[in-house]
Amino acid sequence: MNVPRELRYTKEHEWIKVEGGEAVVGVTDYAQGELGDVIFVELPAPGTRVAQMKAFGTIDAVKTVSDLFAPVTGEIVAVNGALKDDPALVNRSPYKDGWMVRIRLESPAEVNALLSADDYEKSLGAHA
Amino acid sequence: MPELTLHELSVPGHRGPRLMPLDVPAQGIDRLLPADRVRKEPAALPEISEPTAMRHFVNLSTLNHHIDKAIYPLGSCTMKYNPKLNDEMARIPGFAGIHPMQPDDLVQGALAVVAELHEWLRAIMGMPGITTQPAAGAQCELTAVLMARAYHTDRGDAREEVIVPDSAHGTNPSTVHQVGYRVVQIPSGPDGCVDLAALERAISPRTAAMMLTNPNTLGIFERQVGTIARLIHDAGALLYLDGANLNAMMGLASPGAMGFDFAHINLHKTFSTPHGGGGPGGGVLCVRKELEPYLPMPVLEQDGDHYRWNVDRPRSIGRVHSYYGNFGILVRALCYMRSLGASGIGEASREAILNANYLKARLKDAYAASHEGPCMHEFVLSASRQKARGVKALDIAKRLLDFGMHAPTIYFPLIVEEALMIEPTETETKGSLDAFADAMLQIDRESAEDPDRVHAAPTRTPVRRLDEARAARKLILSWQDLEAEGAGG
Ligand SMILES: Cc1ncc(COP(=O)(O)O)c(C=O)c1O
């Protein structure tokens, strides 16, 4: 299972990559494997404000529908439009082409509270 | 493609029975219908002879799995055998030939059937108010939560939230959303039941209701139901029973006595009316006395030995289904109850519990049970051990099809990893239960010795493993969609 070192994680299986004042968010390789084939990703419109650890969208897979949780508070500045036509990008490339939203950080300190790659892997120990 | 569609079978000029020559003067269509109602082009109906149509439907029926063919242990669905006597009774011309617009005076027999069904169900549920309008369980949920809102509104008491355990069926939270309330989800305790401390934290003056499944979706009876009812009522809220699992307690325990204010019944599960492709469904909602004024209208009333529909119900939430619900289903359910008799109904639940416990005992060494100890009418296994060998619940489900058996419910309830939810029902013999257990044990061995075999399954079904993701992403739901897709199969 792939858990890139340079990313931060939530225990709800989102990853976040901070780039300057913004952050890219997606779901982890483990999450996509557990969900199985992704059928649809519902994301908010750019301009929407999201709050840390509140649901901001849903991900539909064959097995189940799950909420997506915002790792940080801020405004959505972009969403990955490619997921509309090809939601399977989440399965094929969870950390790159399958990204979901870009958030403008409101309080960068929130990032420090997120899990490191090691901690995330440890939290998976219980499941995997 | 195992069977072509009727449109693909169509041959221009082929016909079913030929009509007799007219023995009255012909009337032009333009004299019978207004011009704007007449088709400009003929309808694209398939042209097919009677034998071709007959073979088409018989062939389709052999491709399908159904309870008349083999065990169907789909958890939470109560796929019991549907006695054919039920269908025979529903086909009596006096029932089958009536029209719902006939005045009450001309359908007294049919209304007497509905009234008798009400009596049986009131006795089983221990609640006085009843409606048979909803088409299924999910619509009962919607009806009840709308009634709960009307009840609170009448009291000038705006409430906002409905409490739902994390083991609930998806229809519970979606119902809550649909009505405009907010879902407050509470976690289950380690015993699989409602965590009372979490419930107490979730209850507030905003709580409109709680929806509880009992026995719950893990097949465990919520022993604390009396305490739960007290906590909910102390907060001025209402308690709803999702009665999907009534087959574990019909005639044995009364939801009214447990303190429920609403309870639903899925006639198509508990009372042996067809479902799983054979529907339509039948939902019955029972309510406590104080909630009766909010029931959907019309309400059946009896005046001596005369029955009538009362539409003068100013506090009713309105209609939720046309006419009396699915009447033919009501006839079947009553026939089932009459055939079993009062004592037979309790016995059926006892045997459903016995069958589930027998299967659980046979499978618990090979598959991890979600919870130790005896279950009610169903139980949940986890394929976690098999998954460690690379075989998931989905693979096991597919492999079972090769044995000519329907798979259990998988990946529900959501709180059990790789869930396999098994409900054999009382209508399976010991031989049939053993055959199912043997198949499950063989699949467990295969997961260790020959996992590829399980991954390749099914290999003996009319179609192999379907691409479920593509099917969901690209919905083709009619022959027009199929033609537009140009796939043709
Ligand atoms: C626990 C539970 N609740 C509610 C429902 C909804 O019932 P229906 O399918 O009759 O709408 C189901 C159906 O499977 C169920 O299993």
DSSP state of B126: T
pTM confidence score: 0.89
Kindly state whether residue B73 falls inside one of the protein's structural domains: no
**From ligand 1's centre to the CA of B190, what distance in Å?**
24
Record the tokens describing residue B190, joined without a space: 């380690």
Kindly state whether residue A110 falls inside one of the protein's structural domains: yes
Q: What is the pLDDT of residue B487?
A: 52
Q: What is the DSSP code string of B44-105?
A: ------HHHHHHHHHHHHHHS--TTTS---BTTS------HHHHHHHTSHHHHT--TTS-GG
Q: What is the pLDDT of residue A5?
A: 95
What ranges in chain A are assigned the alpha helix state H? 29-35, 82-85, 89-92, 117-125
Kindly state whether residue B231 falls inside one of the protein's structural domains: yes
Is the CB of B144 within 6 Å of ligand 1? no
Q: In this complex, is the C-beta atom of B417 within 8 Å of any C-beta atom belonging to chain A?
A: yes
Per-residue CA distances from B102 to B91, B94, B98, B113, B290 (Å): 18, 12, 7, 16, 32
Give me the number of domains chain A comprises: 1
In whole angstroms, what is the distance from residue B328 CA to residue B88 CA? 11
Q: What is the pLDDT of residue B489?
A: 43
Would you say B226 and B214 are in contact if contact means Cβ atoms under 8 Å apart? no
Kindly state whether residue A101 falls inside one of the protein's structural domains: yes
In whole angstroms, what is the distance from residue B349 CA to residue B398 CA? 29
Kindly state whether residue A3 falls inside one of the protein's structural domains: no
Kindly state whether residue A83 falls inside one of the protein's structural domains: yes
Residues B263 and B197 occupy one common structural domain: yes
Is the CB of B76 within 6 Å of ligand 1? yes
CATH number assigned to the domain comprising residue B364 = 3.90.1150.10
Residues B55 and B121 occupy one common structural domain: no
Residues B51 and B120 occupy one common structural domain: no
Residues B329 and B199 occupy one common structural domain: yes
Would you say A28 and A120 are in contact if contact means Cβ atoms under 8 Å apart? yes
Last residue of a domain, one of B285, B305, B339: B339
β-bridge pairing B379-382 and B368-369: antiparallel
Residue from B280, B251, B289, B282 nearest B264 by CA: B282
Residue A128 has pLDDT above 60, yes or no: no
Q: H or E element: which one contains B398?
A: helix B393-401
Residues B130 and B209 occupy one common structural domain: yes
Q: Give per-residue pLDDT as tens, B161-220.
A: 999 999 999 999 999 999 999 999 999 999 999 999 999 999 999 999 999 999 999 999
| Residue B255 preceded by cis peptide, ω within 30 | no
CATH number assigned to the domain comprising residue B280 = 3.40.640.10
Residue B467 burial by CB count (10 A; 0-12/13-18/19+): exposed, middle or buried?
exposed
Q: What is the pLDDT of residue B182?
A: 96
Q: What is the pLDDT of residue B472?
A: 86
Kindly state whether residue B75 falls inside one of the protein's structural domains: no
Residues B359 and B222 occupy one common structural domain: no
Sign of CA dihedral B196, B198, B202, B204: positive
Kindly state whether residue A1 falls inside one of the protein's structural domains: no
Q: Give per-residue pLDDT as tens, A85-110.
A: 999 999 999 999 999 999 999 998 99
Mean pLDDT of each 10-residue bin along chain B, 489 residues long? 86 91 91 92 92 94 90 97 97 95 95 97 98 96 98 96 96 96 96 97 98 98 98 98 98 98 98 85 97 97 94 96 92 98 97 98 97 96 97 97 97 94 98 98 98 97 89 85 70
Residues B56 and B197 occupy one common structural domain: no
Would you say B141 and B171 are in contact if contact means Cβ atoms under 8 Å apart? yes
Mean pLDDT of chain A: 93
User: What percentage of chain B carries pLDDT values higher than 70?
Assistant: 99
CATH number assigned to the domain comprising residue A59 = 2.40.50.100
| Residue A87 preceded by cis peptide, ω within 30 | no
Give the residue numbers spanning the domain of B190.
85-339
DSSP bridge pairs for B308: B301
Would you say B422 and B359 are in contact if contact means Cβ atoms under 8 Å apart? yes
Give me the number of domains chain B comprises: 3
Q: What is the DSSP code string of B302-367?
A: EETTEEEEE---TT----SSSTTS-HHHHHHHHHHHHHHHHHHHHHHHHHHHHHHHHHHHHHTTTS
Residue A122 burial by CB count (10 A; 0-12/13-18/19+): exposed, middle or buried?
exposed
Q: Using most ligand atoms within 8 A of CB, pick from B142, B145, B166, B171 the residue to mutate for ligand 1.
A: B171
Last residue of a domain, one of B291, B322, B339: B339
Residues B332 and B362 occupy one common structural domain: no
Residues B125 and B226 occupy one common structural domain: yes
**From ligand 1's centre to the CA of B270, what distance in Å?**
11
Q: Which of A37, A60, A91 to mutate to test the interface with B (most CBs of B within 10 A)?
A: A37
- Is A36's CB within 8 Å of B473's CB? no
Kindly state whether residue B258 falls inside one of the protein's structural domains: yes
Kindly state whether residue A2 falls inside one of the protein's structural domains: no
Residue from A50, A1, A60 nearest A25 by CA: A50
Give the residue numbers spanning the domain of A113.
8-124
Residues B324 and B382 occupy one common structural domain: no
Residue B395, helix vs strand vs coil: helix
Residue position matching structure tokens 């009450």 = B104
Is the CB of B136 within 6 Å of ligand 1? yes
Sign of CA dihedral B125, B126, B127, B128: positive
Q: What is the pLDDT of residue A127?
A: 57
Kindly state whether residue A98 falls inside one of the protein's structural domains: yes
In whole angstroms, what is the distance from residue B307 CA to residue B107 CA? 9
What ranges in B126-215 are assigned the alpha helix state H? 137-154, 171-179, 196-202
Q: What is the pLDDT of residue A126?
A: 60
Q: Give per-residue pLDDT as tens, B415-473.
A: 999 999 999 999 999 999 999 999 999 999 999 999 999 999 999 999 899 888 888 88
Residues B323 and B392 occupy one common structural domain: no
Q: In this complex, is the C-beta atom of A39 within 8 Å of any C-beta atom belonging to chain B?
A: yes
Kindly state whether residue A26 falls inside one of the protein's structural domains: yes
